[in-house]
Each structure stands twice: as C-alpha cells, then as structure tokens.
Structure 1
Amino acid sequence: MGTGDNVPLLFPPLPSPLLQIAVLYLYFLWKSILRLIYSSKARQSLLPFLAKIELNNNGQNKLSVLADTYNHYRRQYLQHSRLIFRVTTSVLYFTIAVLLLNFLDREGHFKNLRVRDFHGEFYYPVDGDITRLKNSLIGGQKPWLPPVFEHDYKIVNNPKHRCNTNNTNLVYLVQSYAENEQSRQIIRHTWGHELRYSGIKLFFFVGVSESDIHAQKQIEKEYITFQDIVQGNFKDTDRSMKFAMTLKWASRNCKSASAFVIADDSTYLSTKNILAQIKDVNPSSHVAFTTQFRKDQPYWSGHVYKNIAPVRKRYLERYVNIEEYQYDEYPPLVYPVSLMSRTTLLDFYYGSYFTAYLLVPEAWMALIAYKLNMKPQHDERFIQYYPNNPDDLKNALSISGINYQGIYELWKKELDRRKFK
C-alpha cells in the first residue's frame, strides 16, 4: 500500500539553497584571505632585508636577488588570485544551475515531458473494467486477480453500534483532522445535531496525530463523550486512508442506511435541503422519513470537475509524482462533498481493492468510479464558496471551504431566514 513516504525525485531537494551559497562563499572567502595573508607576509619579509642592505660593490647583486624573490612571490599571488576567482565563479555557476534544475523540477516542468495522454493511452492497475472483480467480492467469491490495495489498517476507536440500527437512514461521514476540535464541536451543535431529525447519524473520521499529544487525548475524550469518532491507526495527514476507512466502516456498520454524505469538517451541510433531495416528505418535518431514495439503486452526485490536471509541484498539498500517476488529467472529480446511495458506497468500497492507491483521495475516488464506469451527477447546489446571495444559502445542499466560524454564521443565517419566512 503506497503512502508516498519514499517518492523518488528526479533531483534531490536542496533544503536551504541560500544557506549553502553563503557557506560556499564564506569558505572561498576564507581561502582567499589566507592566500592574501600568505603573499603579503612573503612580501613584508623582504622589506627588512632591503632596508639593511648596504650599497657596496656587491649591493647591486643582492638587490637583484631580492627583487627576483619578490617578483616570484608576486607571481604566485597573482596565480592564486586568478585560481580563486575561477574556482569561485565555477562554484557560483554550478550552484545556480543546481538551484535552477531543482526549481524546474519542483514546478513540475520535467515531469510534464513524461506525461501521457489520458484519453489515448490510459492504463491504471488493475487494468480494464473491474466490475466483475468487484461483484465477486460482493458475492463472497474469491476474485481471479489479487487486490492491489488491502484495507489492512486497524480501527482503534469504533462506535459501530451507533450506526448499525434499523432507524438509520442518512449518515454524515465527515473526514476531520485530530486537532480540529472546534470544527467538530460547531458541527455537532449546528447542522450535525442528530436530535433535529430522526434517522440521521453523524460520524467523524480521523487518524493518529503523532506530533500533537493534546489532540490525541482530546480525540479519546470526544470518543467517550459523543461516541461519534472513528479513528484509524494511520497518520492523521493521510487523507486517502481516511477515505478508505470511511468506505469500509460505513459499508460494514451502516447496513440499514439509504443515503450517505461524505464531506470534510470545513463544510456546511443543509440537512433540510439534503432530505428534500432524497425523500418525498415535507422537508420541514422533524419526524422519521420514508425515503424514496432507493439504497439498492446507484446514485452519486456532487460538484463535478472535468479535465483537471494532476498537481506536479512538490510543495503543494495535492502533489502526485509522475511514477504514481503519469497521465495529463484525471477522470471527472467530485469534490469535496459526495451524496450517494448505499449501493454506490459498496461499489466504491469493493472497487477500491482493485484500484491502485493514490494519495489524493478525490482523484483516487474518481479513478475507482472510472474503472467501474460510474458517472457522477453534477449539482450546482454543492457550492464551493461562502454565499453572499441569500438564494444560494436557501437552495444550497452544501457550502465548502469555510472554517468553524463560517459554519456557525451560516447556521445563524439559516435560522434567521426560517424565523422571518
């Protein structure tokens, strides 16, 4: 299972280029000073002898010998100066060349020379349509090809009893970071409040924070208090592993649910509008609903992006190395919120076994769907910005890319709008 920890690089990154240049210049400056001191001392050592010379019959010969010695040291000084200048200049040019190559590599220009056409020569393991392989796993049969991704992580905090109930119809699967305690608390008390509607469950999916001991203690506390934390034993920064765990956990523990929403903790979800999307009951009703959203039928919707190129700049979050994915674009992406039926959730889960792991979860999700010939439905009501137009808030299914304060503000606006409706 690839985690991207040891990604081969065309050129090793230089951690501190300016520092390296400074060290090189200080070194050669010190060498130059030593050479100058050496040459200066050599010339100064001649002066006492010249001062003590008595102009006698042999004085002219002595002056000639000392002058030759002086000229010898002077020539050495000039040779050393030229050598130091050449070496320093060569090192400067070499350093500039290495920095330029690293910059071009970091910006992805070398990788662009090796990309392949997605529409003309696509191959991604396992090759071809993986529907039959997926169906064999669903049917409990052994597939004729081994999986390329094993869900071999462990779930250390698992509130599975809360979802495996007969009255669960809609499940919010929110991928969070361990340190985002405030976002989770705001969501619990705003759009994710389970008591507002029956038949709805909310769960947060996190990894293990190795650098923040306080965050891990807070996760343990939240798990005991709210029983809504699902935690895996992998790094908290591995978003694709969270997505894999989300698929596995929901598929196995939420069997009565008809609809699932996969989102992150920077998202505001309108439960009222989502229920109106998947049920044929008065949206303002606070009672259990009878859904017309068939869980045994495929359904997948969200904000669809097409013709999206992989990020080749190593310093960006969604960087993908050319060795991991060598094509010039992804299949249609749904990001960052997906609404799907249970059938579609199962397809993603079992299809993930036969789709090579990729560190960018929305791209991995798109590859699984592409290999299963699943096509998402685009819906503009999955909004990617903070709405200024009241109609956008009124009709939105989700609003993404906001912090916990923005979530609370949107929640207050929706409550105010209902009061004066």
Structure 2
Amino acid sequence: MFNIEEKVLSTLKIETRSAQRPEQITVLTFNSSFRHHPMLSPYPYPYKFLMNPLEKCQKKNPFLVLLVIGESHDVKARDTIRRTWGNESIYQDVHVIRIFLVGISPVMTATIQRVLKEESTLYGDIVQQDFLDTYHNLTLKTLSGMEWVTKFCPNASYVMKVDNDVFVNVNYLVHQLLHPELPPRRNYVTGIVVENTSPSRVNYSLWYLPEEIYPSKIFPPYPAGPGYVLSGDMAKKVYKVAQEIAVYNIEDAFIGICLYKMNISLTPPPKNVFEGLRIGYNSTVFSKLVMAHHFKNEDLLILWSDMRKKNLI
C-alpha cells in the first residue's frame, strides 16, 4: 500500500482523437494537498477487511467472479440474488462464485453489523471493508472487490461488477460472450460503453465534480456502472493503477479514467446484450442478453421463475 504522505502531484496528459478536434484528459495523482477535499475518496488507504470469505478461491480457480454491489442493510436483495442468478450451484459446467461487497452502515451500525455477521457465517459470501457504506463511497466499494480478487482470487479468468438491481443471465455471459473453452482474454473490459460525457459542475448534483479536482471538460469512455465485465488481469490492473491517481466518487467514470491511464480501450459488446434501462420482460429476449437493469426482489423472482419454467436458464 502506498503511503499517502509520500504522494507528489503530477499530471498525465492523454490525447483522445475525434472527428472534430483532439481532446486532452487530465488525470491527477493523489496528493496531500487534495487529501482533505470532500469530493475525493481517501485512497490509497489501509482499509481493513472485516469480513473475508477466503475459502471461496482456495480449492478452485473460478472462471467467473460475480462482484455484487449493494447496501449493507439490504438483506432482501442479497437473498433474492442467492435464490436466482447468483445461485452458484446451478452452474455446474464452470466454476462461478458470488461475492457481495459492503461497507459499514452509517445508521443502525451495531444491528446491521450483527445481521451481516450472521449472513457471513451462513453463506460465506460477504466481503466487507471498514469504510462507510454510502453512495459517495461507491468507488471504494468497487475497488474493495478489485483488491479482493487481486489478493485472494488472483487466478479468476473473468470478473463481473454488477449492481443488486440487475438481472444477469450468467449462462449466456459464460457460453455466448466469454466462451470457457477458449483461453481467457487479457486487457478486456466490456459493457455499455458511455462516451462524450461531461462532469457535472452543479454543486448540488449527486455527480458533482469541481474543476479543481477534475479540470477536464470530458470523461474518457467508460463502462456504465450497473454491470460490466473484466478479464481477471484487468481487475488487478485497475486495483494497481488506482493506487496512483485521484479516486473520484463517480465509480464508472473512474474506471474509464483508469483505462485511459493504462491506454487500454473498452471492447464494445455485441448489440443489445447489455441493457442499461429497464425493458419489458420477454423470455426469448432475456434468454439472449447478459444483463438487464432495474429488476430487483419480487420482479427478479417472477422473471427467474418464468425462465426456469421455460428451461431458458
């Protein structure tokens, strides 16, 4: 882990080319002068693992690690995912593991912590670090997953970061997009590619980024946050480069900044296999996509039950 006090300010200029004009993206490294800025997450920082299911990767090297993002108090969402697409036991031809990433609840802390410990004992699928579980710390939560893969599951072939209000068709992802019979890709990140977006300068916006910490007028391309897939080596590379640059609270845009820092491009996915908006449920359509956003709890259970009845899972 890098020592924050030893960081020095530096700037990386990266050129992007478009049909109109070249753009410059300025990526600032973390620096003691920025350390206390409220819009920057404290990182690198020696966050501790409070819950860590080490046995998940001790016996096998998983083909796919599902890193599920949610709130520490949301027991119902975790249980629903365990009963549906996150049920590891139904994927018998490849090794798939499920991990829930959480922080420390800022409210009802002791009660929620007790529930999390009971869940962890029962299911062995919760990774918790000691930062506050807030929307502002979403980037820290995602990086805790990249750190976990780097340190405790380094031989995973692929990783998917996914929010807990997403339906994931794991079979389609594994067999139609990733292909377990082929050697794992390297430098691979795919999902909904977001391009030509600008940081919000409105100080009451949830996604506000002031010019003093992000001076550029545009974000580099990034994978939309609800769900994206990385090769195993990329999870390690993202974690490594995050030790060197300022960590912003906009998680998916930050991943794009990491990719730009490494000069690695997103791989566009096949058309219509990543759905970032809620779409009407159709079993035939859903059997041929990787993910669909805004399906949670009862909606997800109904969808899953129908697809199981039709033998589409």
TM-score by length of structure 2 reads: 0.81
Q: Residues 350-361 of structure 1: matches in 2 within 5 Å?
A: 350-361=240-251
Determine if the alignment matches structure 1 residue 231 to structure 2 residue 137: no
Instruction: Name which of 391, 394, 398 aligns with 2:291.
Output: 398
Residue 308 of structure 2: aligned partner: 415
Q: Greater strand share, 1 or 2?
A: 2
Report deviation, 1:279: 5.2
Instruction: Name which of 63, 67, 88 aligns with 1:194.
Output: 88
- Once residues 239 and 113 of structure 2 are traced to their aligned partners in structure 1, the CA distance between those partners, rounded to angstroms, is 27
Amino acid at match of 1:361: E
Residue 323 of structure 1: aligned partner: 212
The worse-fitting range, judged by mean Cα deviation, of 149-158 and 197-206 is: 149-158
Residue 242 of structure 1: aligned partner: 141
Alignment coverage as a number of residue pairs: 274
Q: Residues 374 and 177 from structure 1, CA distance in 2 versus in 1: closer, same or farther, beyond 3 angstroms?
A: same
Q: Is the 8 A contact 2:53 2:125 kept in 1?
A: yes
Determine if the alignment matches structure 1 residue 341 to structure 2 residue 215: no
Determine if the alignment matches structure 1 residue 158 to structure 2 residue 52: yes
Residue 211 of structure 1: aligned partner: 107
- Once residues 234 and 389 of structure 1 are traced to their aligned partners in structure 2, the CA distance between those partners, rounded to angstroms, is 37
Q: Please list the CA deviations of residues 91-141 of structure 1 after superposition, one character each: whole Å capped at 9, or x if unmatched.
A: xxxxxxxxxxxxxxxxxxxxxxxxxxx9544321249xxxxxxxxxxxxxx
Q: Is the 8 A contact 2:26 2:214 kept in 1?
A: no
Q: Residues 14-33 of structure 1: matches in 2 within 5 Å?
A: none
Q: Please list the CA deviations of residues 367-409 of structure 1 after superposition, one character each: whole Å capped at 9, or x if unmatched.
A: 0001111111222311113332624312110112333222222
Q: Is the 8 A contact 2:105 2:132 kept in 1?
A: yes
Instruction: Name which of 162, 165, 182 aligns with 1:292.
Output: 182
Residue 13 of structure 1: aligned partner: none
Determine if the alignment matches structure 1 residue 269 to structure 2 residue 168: yes
Q: Residues 392 and 278 from structure 1, CA distance in 2 versus in 1: closer, same or farther, beyond 3 angstroms?
A: closer
Q: Is the 8 A contact 1:381 1:397 kept in 2?
A: yes
| Structure with bigger RCO (C-alpha 8 Å, 6+ apart) | 2
Residue 279 of structure 2: aligned partner: 387
Q: Is the 8 A contact 1:174 1:202 kept in 2?
A: yes
- Could you list the runs of 4 or more consecutive aligned residues of structure 1 that deviate by over 4 angstroms after TM superposition? none
The worse-fitting range, judged by mean Cα deviation, of 302-311 and 159-168 is: 159-168
Q: Is the 8 A contact 1:240 1:359 kept in 2?
A: yes
The worse-fitting range, judged by mean Cα deviation, of 366-375 and 389-398 is: 389-398
SS of the equivalent of 1:124 reads strand
Amino acid at match of 2:123: F
- Once residues 242 and 192 of structure 2 are traced to their aligned partners in structure 1, the CA distance between those partners, rounded to angstroms, is 21
Q: Residues 164 and 323 from structure 1, CA distance in 2 versus in 1: closer, same or farther, beyond 3 angstroms?
A: farther
Residue 124 of structure 1: aligned partner: 27
Q: Residues 165 and 255 from structure 1, CA distance in 2 versus in 1: closer, same or farther, beyond 3 angstroms?
A: farther
SS of the equivalent of 1:178 reads coil
Unaligned 5+ segments in structure 2 are 3-20, 31-41
Amino acid at match of 2:248: L
Amino acid at match of 1:385: L
Report deviation, 1:219: 1.2
Residue 47 of structure 1: aligned partner: none
TM-score by length of structure 1 reads: 0.61
SS of the equivalent of 1:317 reads coil
Q: Residues 299 and 220 from structure 1, CA distance in 2 versus in 1: closer, same or farther, beyond 3 angstroms?
A: same
Q: Please list the CA deviations of residues 16-54 of structure 1 after superposition, one character each: whole Å capped at 9, or x if unmatched.
A: xxxxxxxxxxxxxxxxxxxxxxxxxxxxxxxxxxxxxxx
SS of the equivalent of 2:50 reads strand
Q: Residues 232 and 305 from structure 1, CA distance in 2 versus in 1: closer, same or farther, beyond 3 angstroms?
A: same
Determine if the alignment matches structure 1 residue 371 to structure 2 residue 267: no
Residue 195 of structure 2: aligned partner: 306
- Once residues 58 and 177 of structure 2 are traced to their aligned partners in structure 1, the CA distance between those partners, rounded to angstroms, is 20
Cα RMSD over matched residues?
A: 2.3
Report deviation, 1:341: 1.0
- Once residues 278 and 385 of structure 1 are traced to their aligned partners in structure 2, the CA distance between those partners, rounded to angstroms, is 20
Residue 105 of structure 1: aligned partner: none
Instruction: Name which of 117, 122, 125 aligns with 1:220.
Output: 117
Q: Please list the CA deviations of residues 45-67 of structure 1 after superposition, one character each: whole Å capped at 9, or x if unmatched.
A: xxxxxxxxxxxxxxxxxxxxxxx
Q: Considering only CA atoms, is the larger Rg found in Structure 1 or Structure 2?
A: 1
- Once residues 255 and 164 of structure 1 are traced to their aligned partners in structure 2, the CA distance between those partners, rounded to angstroms, is 11
- Once residues 150 and 219 of structure 1 are traced to their aligned partners in structure 2, the CA distance between those partners, rounded to angstroms, is 26
Q: Residues 5-84 of structure 1: matches in 2 within 5 Å?
A: none
- Once residues 275 and 219 of structure 2 are traced to their aligned partners in structure 1, the CA distance between those partners, rounded to angstroms, is 21
- Once residues 384 and 122 of structure 1 are traced to their aligned partners in structure 2, the CA distance between those partners, rounded to angstroms, is 26
- Once residues 178 and 198 of structure 2 are traced to their aligned partners in structure 1, the CA distance between those partners, rounded to angstroms, is 36
Unaligned 5+ segments in structure 1 are 2-117, 128-147, 281-289
Q: Greater helix share, 1 or 2?
A: 1
SS of the equivalent of 1:395 reads coil
